[in-house]
């Protein structure tokens, strides 16, 4: 049998994901909200805290949950990060279009339409009435149109307007907004379907727990198993001392070969048997084949809240396509 094994990235209802969703389902967290890190990136502190590294990138995990309809995504704000020092919170300012200096002052001036010159009032005034400082034509200053101009105190240039810019609060560097690092920040909340989905996963885990407890096992849920390269979260770990028997249980919506492979590797390391419950009632064909090869027991979690030995298999979905929205939200380093 030749089965390609995906990475752990696609694993969905991991113990970490269930823990994470519990924080929002029980109201201890209202939203998974982003924050800007010290190095100018974006993270989700609650997600980083709950998800172990083996669950992959926190933002990808949130996006997958949003694709599944478990979470919804909502726009929060845009953040601008200083390209120089990576600090968050740049402030809007205006600068001279010629030299980039922030030190510009808006000043009232007069225009002499025949020659087009613009100058301060004082330059039109002479002792014997008034004259244009450029073409020398005599003028009555009160007849000349007023114009407001921005005068740069650094280079002296006049302009009708200034240019919008962003100034870093930390290092005081001033940037063209196009050159600042722009993050489009999204928060994630739980959908009504997400509540149902989570409840089903937790109930299936509880069913697995009571089934094993009825058989004399001591059962720990949402615990960790030691492996050579670190601890691995598991949904359930059950031991029966008399027979020196161990079971590692997992619960998934629709187990795929990644879920089976992950369970197999942890169970092997713990010298335990693997039991995998499907809450949708089906598993992928490859997961089914792999479970047989690894001697992992597959069970169906029924609508009555029990576990049954029968389940269905269905064809592999095409590899999850990344939505264009995801591409857009990751970052735009412009
Ligand atoms: Zn003139
Ligand atoms: Zn200037
Ligand atoms: Zn800075």
Rg (CA), the chain: 33
Which protein residues have their CB within 5 A of the ion that is ligand 3? Answer: 82, 84-85, 87, 168, 170-171
Which of 158-167, 206-215, 313-322 has the weakest average pLDDT? 313-322
Which protein residues have their CB within 5 A of the ion that is ligand 2? Answer: 96, 98-99, 101, 152, 154-155
Q: What's the gap in Å between 159 CA and the centre of ligand 2?
A: 10
Q: What's the gap in Å between 133 CA and the centre of ligand 1?
A: 7
Nearest to 222 by CA among 55, 58, 16: 16
Q: What's the gap in Å between 138 CA and the centre of ligand 1?
A: 9
**Spatial distance between the Cα atoms of 123 and 121, rounded to a whole number of angstroms:** 5
Q: What is the pTM of this model?
A: 0.75
**Structural domain boundaries in the chain:** 1-85+179-190, 90-178, 192-317
How far CA 200 is from CA of 18, 251, 277, 304, in Å, comes to 11, 10, 11, 11
Kindly identify the ligand whose nearest atom is closest to the C-alpha of 180. 3
How far CA 161 is from CA of 5, 80, 146, in Å, comes to 60, 23, 15
Q: What's the gap in Å between 126 CA and the centre of ligand 1?
A: 14
Q: What's the gap in Å between 112 CA and the centre of ligand 1?
A: 5
The residue with greater pLDDT, 314 or 293, is 293
Kindly identify the ligand whose nearest atom is closest to the C-alpha of 136. 1
Predicted pLDDT at 320: 43
Q: What's the gap in Å between 90 CA and the centre of ligand 3?
A: 8
| Interval 241-256: pLDDT, tens | 999 999 999 999 989 9
Is residue 162 within 8 Å of residue 96, measured between CB atoms? yes
Predicted pLDDT at 8: 38
Kindly identify the ligand whose nearest atom is closest to the C-alpha of 103. 2
CB atoms within 10 A of CB 18: 20
Q: What's the gap in Å between 116 CA and the centre of ligand 1?
A: 6
Nearest to 200 by CA among 278, 138, 106, 103: 278
Q: What's the gap in Å between 211 CA and the centre of ligand 3?
A: 58
Is residue 169 within 8 Å of residue 91, measured between CB atoms? yes
Of 3.40.190.10, 2.40.160.20, 3.30.70.260, 3.40.1350.10, which CATH number belongs to 192-317? 3.40.1350.10
Q: What's the gap in Å between 155 CA and the centre of ligand 1?
A: 24
The percentage of the chain sitting over the pLDDT mark of 90, rounded to a whole number, equals: 72
Predicted pLDDT at 328: 40
Predicted pLDDT at 4: 36
Q: What's the gap in Å between 180 CA and the centre of ligand 3?
A: 10
Q: Which two tokens stand for residue 223?
A: 């615990």
Predicted pLDDT at 130: 86
């Amino acid at each position: 049998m030749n089965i390609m094994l995906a990475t752990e990235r696609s694993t969905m209802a991991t113990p970490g994901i269930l823990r994470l969703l519990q924080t929002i389902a029980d109201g201890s967290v209202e939203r998974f909200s982003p924050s800007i890190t010290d190095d100018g990136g974006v993270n989700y502190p609650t997600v980083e805290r709950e998800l172990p590294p083996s669950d992959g990138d926190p933002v990808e995990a949130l996006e997958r949950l949003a694709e599944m309809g478990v979470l919804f995504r909502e726009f929060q704000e845009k953040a601008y990060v200083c390209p120089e020092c990576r600090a968050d919170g740049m402030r809007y300012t205006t600068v001279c279009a010629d030299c980039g200096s922030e030190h510009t002052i808006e000043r009232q001036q007069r225009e002499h339409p025949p020659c087009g010159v613009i100058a301060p009032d004082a330059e039109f005034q002479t002792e014997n009435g008034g004259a244009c400082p450029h073409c020398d034509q005599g003028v009555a200053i009160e007849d000349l149109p007023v114009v407001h101009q921005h005068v740069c105190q650094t280079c002296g240039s006049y302009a009708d307007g200034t240019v919008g810019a962003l100034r870093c609060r930390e290092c005081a560097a001033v940037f063209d907004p196009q050159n600042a690092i722009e993050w489009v920040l999204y928060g994630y909340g739980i959908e009504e379907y997400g509540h149902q989905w989570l409840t089903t996963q937790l109930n299936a885990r509880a069913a697995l727990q009571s089934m094993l407890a009825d058989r004399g096992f001591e059962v720990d849920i949402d615990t960790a198993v030691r492996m050579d390269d670190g601890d691995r979260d598991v949904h359930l770990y059950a031991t029966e001392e008399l027979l020196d028997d161990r079971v590692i249980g997992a619960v998934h919506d629709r187990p795929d070969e990644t879920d089976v492979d992950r369970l197999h590797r942890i169970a092997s390391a713990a010298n335990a048997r693997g039991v995998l419950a499907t809450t949708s009632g089906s598993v992928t064909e490859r997961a089914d084949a792999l479970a047989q090869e690894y001697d992992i027991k597959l069970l169906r979690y029924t609508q009555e809240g029990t576990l049954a030995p029968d389940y269905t298999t269905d064809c592999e979905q095409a590899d999850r396509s990344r939505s264009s929205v995801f591409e857009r939200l990751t970052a735009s380093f412009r």
